[in-house]
Amino acid sequence: MKYGYFDDINREYVITNPNTPSPWINYLGDSNFFSLISNTGGGYSFYKDAKLRRLTRYRYNNVPEDTDGRHIYIKDGTTTFSPTYLPSKEPLDSYECHIGLGYSRFIGVKNGLVSNLLCFVPLQENCEIQYLTIENTTKETKKIDVFAQVEWCLWNASDDNENFQRNLSTGEVEYEDNTIYHKTEYRERRNHYAFYHCSEAIHSFESDRDEFLGIRNGYDHPLQIENGSLGNTLASGAHPIAALHVQLTLKPGEKHSLSFILGYCEITGNEKKFESLNIINKRPAKEMYLRYQNEKSLKDAFIALKKHWDSLLSVYNVTSDNEKLDRMGNIWNQYQCMVTYQMSRSASYYESGIGRGMGFRDSCQDLLGFVHLLPEKAKERILDIASIQKEDGSTFHQYQPLTKRGNGDIGSGFNDDPLWLIAAVSAYIKETGDFDILNIKVPFNNLEGSEKPLLDHLKASINFTINHKGPHGLPLIGRADWNDCLNLNCYSTTPGESFQTTANKETGIAESVFIAGMFVLYGKEYARINELIGNKSEGTRVNKEVLLVKEAAEKYGWDGEYFLRAYDGNGDKVGSHQNEEGKIFIEPQGFCVMAGIGHESGYGKKALESAESLLGDKYGLELLTPPYSTYHVELGEISSYPPGYKENGAVFNHNNPWVTIAHCIEKQPKAAYSLYIKNAPSFIEEYSDIHKTEPYVYSQMIAGRYAKNYGQAKNSWLTGSATWSFVALSQYLLGIKPDYDGLIIEPCLPKETFKKIHIVRQFRGTTYLIDIDNTIDNPTCYVNGKPIKGRLVPSIRSTTPVKVELH
């Protein structure tokens, strides 16, 4: 069952029923100010860091769910409705939520009043605009009251949820010129505040939540709104909010627009903090809201946002025989890559914004699907990430975006982490040709004086694996590898103990076949980079190491029909036919084949067949099977999940694309495509009621066959599924693969289904117009009409488009 439809022309998903099975969200913001916004207006805003600089409150775990957010109430006689349906819950005569790229638009109709609410964050701006137009389509003049309200968070979202003994006394606000300012803690050490402004002269305001709601009311029926006017109270302590009230008279057919602006400001440098005793300096706030005072400036800001996305999405654009594939490739997959890149795993409706900062491995991978969009930003991120690496090559697992320091609480020791840096850097160089990045000096662990060229960081990564191998010559797993929940040195029996930061037994023998795959893949990449920049001997040294690990993987990492997953801390096999449960895992099947392990011997093909037949379900390939039915102390968190959920046997969308890619590497277009469409959102839209999550983005997982709720998806939006699915689609299925000196054109789609494919690719400043005739075997590649040998289209500097044909 569906709850809306894709509108490809406008690049929107239009939700037509507010009662989606879970809140379906969107993200606003492109640089520092971000908002989460659900299809009923829920969500929150933050500046740079969802934990440390939270601007508005959101109660995760609340019932009813998702009632915190930007609240708009339109009171028309005795009826009060919200254009977003929530929080008033007054049934609308018609409702639409248009999920767009960087904006959400709500159209709510009630009793002849058509309300159109557009929410967006202008490019590079530190505010969210809520641009509301109300039209009276009736034959009578209407006098209406419009209320808009947000609830402030006292900056640190974690403290805001815990430290009530202090926080109930610190809240402070000011009011001036249709604007409520939230200035808690500004009197002491903060230099920032937030504000909520209305473009119209307001009739009344409120800043104290208890006054606004009245005792025991929720946001569905605030007392002051029922009474028709706000109380003009300045909050002191307790729960500060900002509520603004405008009165309008609309003649028949009349339309009126107004806007509410939620902004964030800092006073920096020598500028004075206060205008007078404890009265904040409002200069930056006034300048900000005055920028959007008239309709033209609002419209211009929105057009600029649209143009920004036009330009981003012009870098890669496909027209094929399948509109669902085009929709993923041209719009939604790229959009999710951007959001995931910006948020890492910090703020979604499943990530509370206080738990996790930016992940090392996550960010490195997120970059793969993002680097073509904004290579300059990718470069910045690489340098930030590399700065939390330690001198021995190991890395912190996460960092806080505001401080950019490694997060000691989450620790380190995930032995896959270092190698992802090579994945990120090589993807960046392939996209840009910018080898100079390798010379940029980057500190280790952010320590001054420890700066070394980025190339040395890559070397440290490689050497880390070389120096941490186990009894079979396979890489040691450490706390875990890509699979955070495969904790082979943890042996935890204490409830609540973190599986990720505890090692109760440093066995020094638990090995990962997955990391072996990574080392072979990224070791070769590192060697190639070195050869290209003239470090021949380093290339040779590492290629030898790669060979050793490849041999070890083929010898000790092969189970007969597929690749083993690991050796545990007792030296026993994990993911073997000899095991009762967890007989086969997906990760090594995908990654080892991607690395070319088992290519010559035919193991690779065999592994893919086994993955398909043993792990395949309706929604893709499960992570392992059969799931663990009991807790295994020697395996850790993976066995803590009930069967079929998360790492214990769900379809983990993140690693399905590895298998898709592996099929392409083994030249199996049918298998590659049939796996791709099993979980690509636009292809499974009709299961929206089963999945429950947004049909326009990937979720981290879809519960597997053994789960009580088979097919239910969780953790939408912030997942490596976005990046890897885009890599699989753009570089392998459609086959446009950036390489150090050009673009490799090697599509892998079934010729029965795909006849003609047209791709526009901007690459290093040149436009490539690529036409593929997919119906013939072994086509020749032509560049500007001339045949070339092989498939590498050299990078050409040209102001006119380069024509590439495959026929």
**Binding residues for ligand GLC (CB under 6 A):** 345, 359, 361-362, 482-485, 500, 637, 646-647, 654, 700, 719-720
Q: Which residues contact 418 (CB under 8 A, 6 or more apart)?
A: 389, 393, 394, 395, 460, 461, 462, 464, 465
Residues belonging to the chain: 807
Three-state secondary structure call for residue 533:
coil
- Of 487, 465, 363, 483, residue with least CA distance to 419: 465
- Of 589, 545, 461, residue with least CA distance to 597: 589
Q: Is the separation of the CB atoms in 270 and 254 below 8 Å?
A: no
- Of 684, 751, 743, residue with least CA distance to 320: 751
- Identify whether 484 is a catalytic site residue: yes
- Of 102, 138, 510, residue with least CA distance to 331: 102
In angstroms, the Cα distances linking 598 to 518, 541, 601, 668, 775 are: 14, 22, 5, 16, 29
In whole angstroms, how close is the CB of 714 to ligand GLC at the nearest point? 10
Closer by beta carbon to ligand GLC, 173 or else 638: 638
Which member of 484, 559, 617, 739 is catalytic? 484
Closer by beta carbon to ligand GLC, 359 or else 433: 359
Q: Following DSSP, what letter does each residue of 626-691 receive, concatenated?
A: SPPSS--TTTGGGGGSPTTSTTTTSEETTTHHHHHHHHHHTT-HHHHHHHHHHH-GGGSGGGHHHH
Q: Backbone phi, then psi, for 103, in 5-degree steps?
A: -150, 160
* Beta bridge partners of residue 181, listed in sequence order: 174, 195
Angstrom distance (rounded) from CA 549 to CA 545: 6
Angstrom distance (rounded) from CA 118 to CA 106: 6
- Of 240, 303, 262, residue with least CA distance to 33: 262
Q: How far apart are the first and last CA of the chain?
A: 41
Closer by beta carbon to ligand GLC, 112 or else 355: 355
Q: Is the separation of the CB atoms in 673 and 749 below 8 Å?
A: yes
Q: Is the separation of the CB atoms in 435 and 429 below 8 Å?
A: yes
Closer by beta carbon to ligand GLC, 113 or else 485: 485
Name the residue with the smallest CB distance to ligand GLC: 484
Closer by beta carbon to ligand GLC, 49 or else 96: 49
- Taking residue 75's Cβ as centre, other Cβ atoms within 10 Å add up to 19
Angstrom distance (rounded) from CA 371 to CA 377: 8
- Taking residue 64's Cβ as centre, other Cβ atoms within 10 Å add up to 11
Closer by beta carbon to ligand GLC, 432 or else 655: 655
- Look up residue 41 and give its two tokens: 């207006």
Closer by beta carbon to ligand GLC, 172 or else 637: 637
Closer by beta carbon to ligand GLC, 651 or else 793: 651
Closer by beta carbon to ligand GLC, 330 or else 721: 721
In whole angstroms, how close is the CB of 485 to ligand GLC at the nearest point? 5
In whole angstroms, how close is the CB of 500 to ligand GLC at the nearest point? 5
Q: Is the separation of the CB atoms in 476 and 511 below 8 Å?
A: yes
> Which residues are known catalytic residues?
484
